[in-house]
Amino acid sequence: MATRFTGKAGTVCGKVGKARFAENSEGTPTFLYMGGNFPRHTFTARIPGNARAKFKPAPEELEGKDVCVIGTIERDASRAEIVVDSPSNLKLATIR
């Protein structure tokens, strides 16, 4: 589980179970919930609202896809989270 690596740089890969643009929340973030079905997911990739326009296509289109998120692993409640402010930190996973 990624929470063991809080504060360290890392890569977390998995299927995006749900993607949600929280346009009425502070900072207008977009959340990519991974590691199980929302709200029982174990990991969140959070894209701040001010970085959202950099992502083409829109982050919601990643729902159901396997992705890798690169960044510093933080803790959000009982889950691990990485804040993604650049498209270069979010990649489609390639299965070989």
Residue at 96 is within a domain: no
Q: Whole domain around residue 21: which residue ranges?
A: 2-91
Neighbour tally for 46: CB within 10 Å: 20
pLDDT at 96: 62
Residue at 63 is within a domain: yes
- Structure-token pair, residue 74: 């933080």
Dump the DSSP string for 54-82: G-SS-GGGGTTSEEEEEEEEEEETTEEEE
Q: How confident is the model at residue 95 (pLDDT cuts 50, 70, 90)?
A: low
pTM value surpassing 0.85: yes
pLDDT tens for each residue of 3-51: 677 889 999 999 999 999 999 999 999 999 999 988 999 999 999 999 9
Q: How many domains does the chain have?
A: 1
